[in-house]
């Protein structure tokens, strides 16, 4: 009885008996497919570990079937006696109806120095067209599926946009304020009060200080010329604080004024230069004359409507605040 069992095993698994055989099989997961439907070809080789085989090359198409995906070769041991099971799965597809034949694969290997070949069987697959039921009416393609509104998501988006708008607004405001500060820092003239009013207030303050009476002649002339310079700067938008006396006197706006006014201004500026830079101490009458000339220049070059303006207090407050 024991002998009969061994004989059956020997007939069923001949490679186990010699221990050196290579068995190759190929199979498809289906024999019928619809056009464009993928199906799998599985190539399996059972071989002893000691034998080196040439794995068959899989090209882009096999027997008119397109290779869509070429999987790698997978190897796993079958038993402890060095028998390996190697397999590769290839996804195929046909784009035309008909009957296709997957040809058999040839596996080359050497056994005891002799070249030997193992073969797989050719496989058959039928490709059919999609059956169309002509009895039914023609339908349009499926319309776009609408996603239902999510109130939480909408609120979140609105909130996010509001935050973005607020940030952008804050950045713009920051730069506008910075620009304003720069303008102020660069000394650009911002006239808040009329030039005449500023000058007259300053003249009054200078008179009250009584600088030349206290022997502070240089300070007196410095302030006197500064008042005139600030006035000229406001009146004609000339950068008078950065101009020398000659440059101020030669300027077109000053040249357009009355000749007598020009002379009076020249008198004040030139005498002030002598006091400031050449230690000259003029006579007391010259101090008074300089003051008178300076006031006269401001008064005569100011339009009448500016001397008696209709002052809107709220307007002024707004301006100062801004």
Q: Which residues bind other proteins (CB under 8 A)?
A: 182, 185-187, 222, 239, 241-247, 273, 276-280
Q: Are 128 and 97 in contact (CB under 8 A)?
A: yes
CB of 242 to other proteins, least distance (A): 5
CB of 243 to other proteins, least distance (A): 6
Residues in contact with 118: Cβ distance below 8 Å, sequence separation at least 6, in sequence order: 22, 23, 24, 45, 53, 106, 107, 109
Which residue intervals of the chain are DSSP H helices?
A: 2-12, 14-18, 151-185, 195-209, 217-236, 245-250, 252-255, 259-278, 284-300, 304-307, 313-321
User: Six-digit token pair at 282?
Assistant: 């003029």
Nearer to other proteins, 247 or 258 (CB): 247
Q: Count the helix, strand and coil residues of the chain and give each as a percent rounded to the nearest 5.
A: 45, 20, 30
Q: Are 40 and 70 in contact (CB under 8 A)?
A: no
CB of 275 to other proteins, least distance (A): 10
Nearer to other proteins, 78 or 266 (CB): 266
CB of 213 to other proteins, least distance (A): 22
Cα–Cα distance for residue pair 267/282, rounded to 1 Å: 12
Residues in contact with 19: Cβ distance below 8 Å, sequence separation at least 6, in sequence order: 48, 81
Cα–Cα distance for residue pair 268/38, rounded to 1 Å: 105
CB of 149 to other proteins, least distance (A): 53
Nearer to other proteins, 209 or 276 (CB): 276
Q: Which of 228, 238, 225 is nearest to 200 (CA)?
A: 228
CB of 189 to other proteins, least distance (A): 13
CB of 244 to other proteins, least distance (A): 5
Q: Are 193 and 319 in contact (CB under 8 A)?
A: no
Nearer to other proteins, 102 or 232 (CB): 232
Nearer to other proteins, 120 or 233 (CB): 233
Nearer to other proteins, 81 or 177 (CB): 177
Nearer to other proteins, 89 or 276 (CB): 276
């Amino acid at each position: 009885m024991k002998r009969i069992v061994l004989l059956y095993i020997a007939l069923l698994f001949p490679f186990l008996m010699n221990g050196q055989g290579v068995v190759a099989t190929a199979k498809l997961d289906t024999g019928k497919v619809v056009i464009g439907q993928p199906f799998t070809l599985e190539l399996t080789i059972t071989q002893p570990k000691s034998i080196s085989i040439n794995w068959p090359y899989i090209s882009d198409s096999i027997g008119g079937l397109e290779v869509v995906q070429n999987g790698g070769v997978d190897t796993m041991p079958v038993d402890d006696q060095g028998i390996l099971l190697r397999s590769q799965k290839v996804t195929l597809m046909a784009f035309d109806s008909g009957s296709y034949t997957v040809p058999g694969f040839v596996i080359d290997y050497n056994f005891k120095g002799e070249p030997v070949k193992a073969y797989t069987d050719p496989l058959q697959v039928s490709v059919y067209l999609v059956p169309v039921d002509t009895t039914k009416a023609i339908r349009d393609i499926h319309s776009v599926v609408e996603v239902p509104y999510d109130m939480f998501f909408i609120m979140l988006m609105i909130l996010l946009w509001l935050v973005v708008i607020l940030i952008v607004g804050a950045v713009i405001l920051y730069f506008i304020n910075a620009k304003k500060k720069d303008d102020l820092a660069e000394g650009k003239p911002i006239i808040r009060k009329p030039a005449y009013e500023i000058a007259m207030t300053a003249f009054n303050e200078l008179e009250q200080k009584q600088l030349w009476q206290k022997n502070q002649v240089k300070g007196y002339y410095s302030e006197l010329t500064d008042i005139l310079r600030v006035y000229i700067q406001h009146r004609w938008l000339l950068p008078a604080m950065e101009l020398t006396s000659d440059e101020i006197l030669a300027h077109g706006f000053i040249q357009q004024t009355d000749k007598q006014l020009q002379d009076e201004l020249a008198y004040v500026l030139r005498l002030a230069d002598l006091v400031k830079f050449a230690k000259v101490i003029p006579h007391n009458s010259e101090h008074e004359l300089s003051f008178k000339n300076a006031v006269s220049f401001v008064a005569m070059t100011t339009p009448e409507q500016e001397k008696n303006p209709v002052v809107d207090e709220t307007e002024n407050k707004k301006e100062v605040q801004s």
